[in-house]
Amino acid sequence: MSSNPVFVAIDTTDAARAQALIAAAAPHVGGVKLGLEFFCARGPDGVRAAAAGHCLFLDLKLHDIPNTVASAVRAVAPLAPTLLTIHAGGGVAMMKAAREAAEESARDGERLLLIGVTVLTSLDDEDLEAVGQRGPMRNQALRLAALAQASGLDGVVCSPHEVAALRAECGPDFILVVPGIRPDGTALGDQKRVMNPAEAMAAGATHLVIGRPITGAADPAAAARAIAVGLGH
C-alpha cells in the first residue's frame, strides 16, 4: 500500500463519473474505496475497470452466515482488493470462516486483508440503544474490535473518536481504517462522529476514508491535493 493513508470514497453508480473522480483524486491519495452502491450497480467487472491500477478498498460490509460470507470472500478475491470489510457483529465463526477463505484465495503469497466494521459512524449512543446494543459507543467499538482481532481479522473500521482507545487496546500492528473524516470547514453530512485528517492520524489511525469533501468539491483534484499536503504527502 502507498504511504499516503487516504482512500477516496467513490459513492456513485455512474461508471463514467466514478472513473473521472478517481482520475482526479488518484495522484493525491493512496487508494480508492468502492462500496456496496457501486458494486450492486456495476458488478465485479465495473469494479475491476474503475479500480484498475489503484489500491482497492472494497467496502462491502459482508454480514451473513459463515459459509455464505466465506463464499463471498472467495468470489471477490479475483478483484484483488487490498482491503475487504465484513461486519464484526457477525460473530466469531463468521469472521474465522472469512479469514480461512481469504487465506485459501491468496495469490503469490498475498491475501486480501479483512477489516471488521465495529459501529457505523452514522450511529450514536441513542441509535445503539434503539437496536438493543449495549453502549456507550466507545465500549461497543472496543468489544467488537477485540472480538475481530481474536478471530483473525487484520483490523477494523472505527470512528475517529475510538481510534486512540483502539490503538492502545489492539497494539501497533492492528489496522485502523477511519471514516467520518472531515477537513476543517467542510459539511458534516450524515456523519455524527468526525475529526479532521491530521487529528485522526495523530490519534493512531492507519488509513483515512474521505469521500464527499473530495468528490463533492468543485475541484476534486485540488481538494485531494490540499488534504495530502496537510498530511505531509
pLDDT (0 to 100) of residue 80: 95
- Per mean pLDDT, which range of 2-6, 106-110, 125-129, 163-167 is the poorest? 125-129
**If 0-12 CB within 10 Å is exposed, 13-18 middle and 19+ buried, where does residue 216 land?**
middle
In the predicted structure, residue 139 carries a pLDDT above the cut 90 = no
Class of domain 6-230: alpha beta
- Measured between alpha carbons, how far is 134 from 225 in angstroms, rounded to an integer? 40
The three cell numbers locating residue 197: 485528517
- Give this prediction's pTM: 0.91
Name the maximum alpha-carbon separation found in the chain: 46
In angstroms, the CA 228 to CA 197 distance is 9
Q: What is the pLDDT of residue 193?
A: 54
Query: Is the pLDDT confidence value at 21 over 70?
Result: yes
Are residues 118 and 144 in contact, defined by beta-carbon separation less than 8 angstroms? yes
CB 25 within 8 A of CB 228: no
pLDDT digits (tens, 9 = 90+) for 159-178: 888 899 999 999 999 999 99
Residues 6+ apart with CB under 8 A from 167: 174, 176, 203, 204
- Sequence ranges of the domains in the chain: 6-230
Q: What is the predicted pLDDT for the residue at 188?
A: 52
Active site residue 61: yes
For residue 105, is pLDDT > 70? yes
Query: What is the 3-state secondary structure of the chain?
Result: CCCCCEEEEECCCCHHHHHHHHHHHHHHCCEEEEEHHHHHHHHHHHHHHHHCCCCEEEEEEECCCHHHHHHHHHHHHHHCCCEEEEEHHHCHHHHHHHHHHHHHCCECCECCEEEEECCCCCCCHHHHHHCCCCCCHHHHHHHHHHHHHHCCCCEEECCHHHHHHHHHHHCCCCEEEECCECCCCCCCCCCCCCECHHHHHHHCCCEEEECHHHHCCCCHHHHHHHHHHHCCC
Q: What's the pLDDT score for residue 126? A: 84
Q: Given a cut of 90, is residue 5 above it in pLDDT?
A: yes
How far is residue 90's CA from residue 110's CA, in Å, rounded to a whole number? Answer: 25
Q: What is the pLDDT of residue 17?
A: 96
| pLDDT band at 187; cut points 50, 70, 90 | low
Model confidence band, residue 186 (pLDDT cutoffs 50, 70, 90): low
Distance CA 94, CA 152 (A): 11
Strands 83-87, 56-62: parallel, antiparallel or unpaired by DSSP? parallel
Residue among 33, 61, 96, 192 flagged as catalytic: 61
Write down the mean pLDDT value for the chain.
Answer: 91
